Chain A
């Protein structure tokens, strides 16, 4: 079955002429048609365009001239990455009919590499959420248990990767929105260093935290995708001009002698005992591979979440000011004047969680409160960064749970703060701008995936991926697949 193959194996078949990109695209499209009615990962399926791109890739393989390791590989993108001529909603009513006039840089790079776009994936509205229940259109389901959430905000990207509805997908991670759904769906999810991947054409949530990254079936596949999308971009002045190594080659060599820090503060009160046991077992696997685990302390971890819930809403309230019913998107007509049109349009176009965060951010930035909230949070951000800097003087990589718990049921978390607490172990990494990956590290007795989070130094994705790859080689969690083919209950 072509949809089961890793990117590496699929590309090898293309090269040997044992399969064609058109066959692969058709297989994925057929699977999406058969199963996505149950998972609801896709907001838009670009069937005709995909088949056209695949036919072009066929010709390149026939000529013996593939463009890249991703040529002919079927992929899908979170619906906040602009795709020229293809509706891009950001999971919001306010952008329900928005058709971007340009491609995000990641899309342009994937096109140039020959990748085949299958469609656009569901998400929490404006990437604000941890369950994909805040999508304005419909919730996505966890492929391992359709009554549970896939995590969020990149829930569609994680579910599609886990359910083999695409060979790889892209998501974005502002406070854990790649790693947390990767953990919940039992797939690999990588958040690169801030500045590693261009954000041009990413619909902004919190600009100092947002970063684009891949979901894939294996660490090696994630490394291949990162190699294509990484690198400086003149269109994003925050992208950093650091050379892009061969991430695939960097996976080899093992982890003998690698110093692995275990942050005590990540094994918090209230952590699911099965998650804790699985992650501690994963650390023993790393030890068995020659790594040297040692205890480290990140003392400001508990303040990260509170700082994030000032900084991210503050940036969001500013970024989302552009949705005003004038240049694109929804407009609610009527009203006496321009100001009233703005208010009505935004009231109708934004969902509850987006409104809550715009209000929170506007409040935190308003006169009289700026220093107490935003100024304070930025100082706390410095302390969180310093924690990591000090830890990385002693160790090469950190290992911890990705999330304190596993996938919860739809509708279970009704209090906003309870939902926010999901991201308590992923947010500090965004505040510090570091790379982090979640890899499958076991299952609960009820069959729900558990994620191991590995965190590295800025721009040292290579070490993070090498450790993740070594762990993956030594275990077979990533080979387990959810069963979706059974008839509905």
Chain B
């Protein structure tokens, strides 16, 4: 039997990084599915890529600059209109700092 590509504890670690709460059943299914996909991705290992430059973008572009001039932007009230819990001109969130 081949070594699994990803363990249950790695799934739990990645889920924490991704801010995704997973049920116990989800974790095992996710581990199995990621294992299959990662095994397929491993076909890339057969390919010699030493000395090949990486491509991050299909169209070669260097930094695109513009003048730093103020322009009208979307009004604050419009930007707050979709907020689940707006408060005045703020987005309200649950407590961050422990008491």
Contact = CB atoms under 8 A, between A and B. Distances in A.
Interface of A: 97-99, 101-102, 193-195, 208-209, 234, 237-238, 240, 300, 302-303, 306-307, 309-310, 317, 321, 324-331, 333, 335-344, 346-347, 350, 355-356, 358-360, 362-363, 366, 373, 375-383, 385, 415-417, 420, 430-434, 458
Nearest to B53: A382
A328 B54 contact: no
B37 A309 contact: yes
A377 B19 contact: no
Contact of B58 (A328, A335, A385): A385
A360 B20 contact: no
B14 A366 contact: yes
Contacts of A102: 74
Contact of A356 (B17, B30, B42): B30
A363 B10 contact: yes
Nearest to A374: B54
Interface of B: 6, 10-11, 13-15, 17-22, 26, 30, 33-34, 36-38, 40-45, 47, 49, 52-59, 61, 64, 66, 74, 78-79, 81-85, 91, 93-96, 98
Contact of B83 (A240, A327, A360): A327
B74 A382 contact: no
Contacts, number: 173
B34 A339 contact: no
A283 B58 CA distance: 28
A481 to B, nearest CB: 36
A432 to B, nearest CB: 6
B58 A431 contact: yes
Contacts of B15: 359
Given A338-B96, A360-B34, A383-B47, 18 more contacts: A101-B82, A208-B58, A237-B64, A238-B59, A238-B64, A306-B40, A325-B84, A337-B95, A340-B21, A341-B94, A359-B34, A362-B17, A375-B54, A377-B41, A382-B52, A385-B58, A416-B33, A432-B58
A53 to B, nearest CB: 22
Given A303-B44, A346-B21, A358-B18, A238 B61 contact: yes
B44 A356 contact: no
A416 B29 CA distance: 12
B30 to A, nearest CB: 6
Q: Which of B26, B55, B94 is most buried by chain A, counting CB atoms within 10 A of its CB?
A: B55
Nearest to B18: A362
A324 B19 contact: yes
A350 B20 contact: yes
